Amino acid sequence: MTWKEFKLKIKKRWHYFLAKRESIETYYMTVVDSTKEITTFNYYGHIFHARLKNSSDYDMVNQVIVKGEYALAVSYFKAQSFEPKVLIDAGSNIGSTAIYLKHLFPETQIFCIEPDEENFDLLKNNLSKYVNNGSVKLYQAGLMGKSGLNLSINTNFRDKSSCARQVVVEQKENRLKSITIIDLIKEHNLQSIDLLKIDIEGAEVFLIKNDSNVSFLSITKCIAIEIHDEYECREKIYELLIKNNFVLLEDNETTLAINKSLA
């Protein structure tokens, strides 16, 4: 067991111990219930669940809500006194980003894309009230440059955790398919995209493939993207964004790209 795994194990047991005795304020959230499998959080009235066993859910919650992975993008909108109306969350995992942004921008419409079935089931549960009121749309699919491709899930990417689910294109027919940003634009008649979050475990290389339609960049105000350097695509993605009039800012693992034409 690594030191990181040991610390996570202790953290999980500590939450389980405390939640069984009283509700506590922790990480800006209240632990309202916990079992050996699931902890239930209340984040400013947003109820959601995180798996404990064989999962990286705690790390995702910590990264997005506690450490503020997308705080720079939020600061950009706040500085402009602008509330984003359309957000695309590609690589939604269990919904931490959507919950974080829904708290800050309650009127926004969010389109969530998540390919992994177990992650998607929990995502659907965590965002059910927003799905029911129509302000969140869920897609169990993989974001790619072409739609309708047959996909499978690679569970061996990076640390093999539940937040490192990678899509692989298959030749044989499969229920899991790819989706494009253009698909969403056409389906919902989107005139603009205020924030496009991309954390899709290497599939961001679709941006620089010759047959990809990246015309959506012209209507996208802000992009928050995590680039996986295993694919040696960072320089070319940067070139693409700069060519399309984006200015780039680095914030830990996330690159924030702001469209100067729409700023």
Write the pLDDT tens digit of every residue in 225-262.
998 888 788 999 999 999 999 999 998 889 999 999 99
Q: CATH code for 68-259?
A: 3.40.50.150
Per-residue pLDDT tens digits for 165-196: 677 788 888 899 999 999 999 999 999 999 99
Q: Which residue has the higher pLDDT, 224 or 39?
A: 224
As a whole number, mean pLDDT of residues 132-152 equals: 94
Strands of the sheet with 109-113, listed across from one edge: 136-139, 109-113, 86-90, 193-198, 220-226, 254-259, 246-251
d(C-alpha 130, C-alpha 97), whole Å: 13
Inform me whether the pLDDT recorded for 163 exceeds 60.
no
d(C-alpha 54, C-alpha 74), whole Å: 31
**pLDDT confidence of residue 114:** 96
Cβ proximity of 194 and 221 under 8 Å: yes
Angle at CA of residue 82, ends 78 and 83, nearest 5°: 95
Inform me whether the pLDDT recorded for 27 exceeds 80.
no
As a whole number, mean pLDDT of residues 42-48 equals: 89
**pLDDT confidence of residue 104:** 95
**pLDDT confidence of residue 21:** 41
- Angstrom CA distances, 101 to 88, 169, 178, stand at 11, 31, 25
Running DSSP on this structure, what letter comes out for residue 24?
A: -
Q: Phi and psi (nearest 5°) for 46?
A: -95, 110
As a whole number, mean pLDDT of residues 28-54 equals: 81
Percent of the chain with pLDDT over 90: 58
**pLDDT confidence of residue 14:** 60
The residue whose two tokens read 């006194």 is 81
Q: Work out the pLDDT band at 59, boundaries 50, 70, 90.
A: confident
Cβ proximity of 40 and 47 under 8 Å: yes
d(C-alpha 131, C-alpha 87), whole Å: 14
**pLDDT confidence of residue 71:** 94
Residue 239: partners with Cβ closer than 8 Å, 6 or more residues away: none
Per-residue pLDDT tens digits for 105-141: 999 999 999 999 999 999 999 999 999 999 999 999 9
Angle at CA of residue 225, ends 83 and 197, nearest 5°: 40
- Angstrom CA distances, 91 to 34, 58, 142, 160, stand at 26, 16, 8, 16
Inform me whether the pLDDT recorded for 162 exceeds 80.
no
Which segments of the chain belong to CATH 3.40.50.150? 68-259
Percent of the chain with pLDDT over 70: 86
Which H/E stretch holds residue 25? strand 25-26
- Burial category of 4 from C-beta neighbours within 10 Å (exposed 0-12, middle 13-18, buried 19 and up): exposed
Mean pLDDT, the chain, rounded, equals 86
